[in-house]
Chain A
Amino acid sequence: MNYFLQINKKNILFLIFFLLIFFFIYLVINNFDFKQKKNLNLQDKKNTTYDILNPKFTINKTKEKISVTAKEGNFLDNNKVLLQNKVIFQSNNFTLLSDNVIYNQKEQVANSNTSSVFHSDGIEIKSNGFSIIDGGNMIEFNGKSKLIISK
């Protein structure tokens, strides 16, 4: 007697169904891993376009501390760093925002030629760039500028 004929058809169908499900899950997991790897690779490639991710440091030259943050940073030479994307200079007195800033670590000077916005208590200055000189004692706003004083 053939033993195969003794196996219940329902059981066979159930087994095949389970195998198919496992196969499907295997495919999904494999595919997911592949995508994740691909994403990581892309991020790696992207990371290589800048040297520092989310740079953050403080200028301490004057009595007023100025903290500097950005999304990206690139070393131009031993002293100069190009800060890009949401560059923020913040002290107790002011906040200065721009998108492209070159910061000289040695001289503690920052320059920007892109549009910048300065905020302080009751003050807003919009300009086509700025220079932070003398550790923040002097801030020079370049080009056509607008200062709004609200009391």
Chain B
Amino acid sequence: MKYFLIVFLIVTGNVFAKNIEQTEITTDDGIEVFQNEKYYLLKKNVIIKSPSFTLTADLVKAFFDKDLYDVTKIESEGNSKLTSQKNIQAIGDTINFSLKDDEILILGKKSSLIYVDIKMYSNESIHVINKTGEFFINGDKSKLKTNKIEIMGDKIDGKYNSKENFNDIEKLFVEDKEIANIITETMNLFSKKAIYNKETNIIELFEKVKIIRENEVITGDYAEINTEKNSYKIKSNNNNKVKALIINNNE
């Protein structure tokens, strides 16, 4: 019985050890190993299953550091899909990510990245540096969505702070050639440019400003919205005047 137990423990121990530490890569059209350039070229229907992530793509370049097993960076092309243990789901034509720096770049139309409660969408690029929490979303009709806020613009840059089950947006810069849009729990904001800082709880809106709150519609050239007090002040250039429209739904 003793011997049986010892053998059982050794066998199961080995199996689990292998499962934890192994990365399995399969391809339909071969693997090229470039020893001087230090990368693998994985061709056609590539599937990478590692303990920390799963990636599928048409073509993958996997860069290694000193040794062949030490993969540090991955560049995938064509129908790329990434699912990570850190609750990251990424879809794009190209997904490049660094395992060392915890950084991801998604390129292509209908790109998306979901990280816990933050959802990022773009038709050009999504770049996230997880170590610092910085993100850069570029491209026409880019979008960022959390449980509290929804932002649309050509350029959405910012910083988040990872909490236990959610990410808190700390800084935000939004810009659009025509008009950017921020939807909070109580307001719908439009402007060409917007800046948000969590420390001051202020959203600044620049140019072609329009604030919709319940039945109020206010337009101007510059606005400051206090997200904590749910109040705002709006200014106008000399040429334009601040306009306020109050809609009474009862009438």
Contacts and interface: CB of A to CB of B under 8 A. Distances in A.
B35 A145 contact: no
A150 B22 contact: yes
B32 A140 contact: yes
Nearest to A129: B30
Interface string B43-64: 0000000100000000000000
A145 B27 contact: yes
A139 B68 contact: no
Interface in A98-115: none
A149 B30 contact: no
B214 interface: no
A100 to B, nearest CB: 17
Contacts of B23: 148-151
Nearest to A138: B34
Interface string A105-135: 0000000000000001111010100000000
Contacts of A141: 30-33
A122 B69 CA distance: 6
Nearest to A151: B21
Contact of B26 (A94, A142, A144): A144
Interface residues of A, number: 25
B248 interface: no
A149 B23 CA distance: 5
A122 B31 CA distance: 16
B69 A125 contact: no
Contacts of A76: none
B216 interface: no
Question: Which of A127, A145, A149 has most chain B Cβ within 10 Å?
Answer: A149
B163 interface: no
B24 interface: yes
Interface residues of B, number: 24
Contacts of B2: none
Contacts, number: 78
Question: Which of A138, A142, A147, A151 has most chain B Cβ within 10 Å?
Answer: A147
A35 interface: no
A150 B67 CA distance: 12
A145 B22 contact: no
B27 to A, nearest CB: 5
Contacts of A125: 31, 33
A145 B50 CA distance: 16
Interface in A11-38: none
Given A121-B67, A123-B69, A144 B24 contact: no
B25 interface: yes
A120 B68 contact: yes
A137 B34 CA distance: 6
A98 B67 CA distance: 23
Nearest to A94: B68
Contact of B31 (A94, A121, A145): A145
Nearest to B32: A140
Contacts of A144: 26-29
Contact of B30 (A127, A136, A137): A127
Contacts of A138: 32-35
Given A93-B35, A137-B34, A141-B30, 7 more contacts: A93-B68, A120-B69, A122-B69, A125-B33, A147-B40, A149-B68, A150-B21
27 contacts: A64-B35, A93-B35, A123-B69, A125-B33, A136-B35, A137-B34, A137-B35, A138-B32, A138-B35, A139-B32, A140-B30, A141-B32, A141-B33, A145-B26, A145-B31, A147-B27, A147-B31, A147-B42, A148-B23, A148-B25, A149-B22, A149-B23, A149-B50, A149-B71, A150-B22, A151-B23, A151-B69
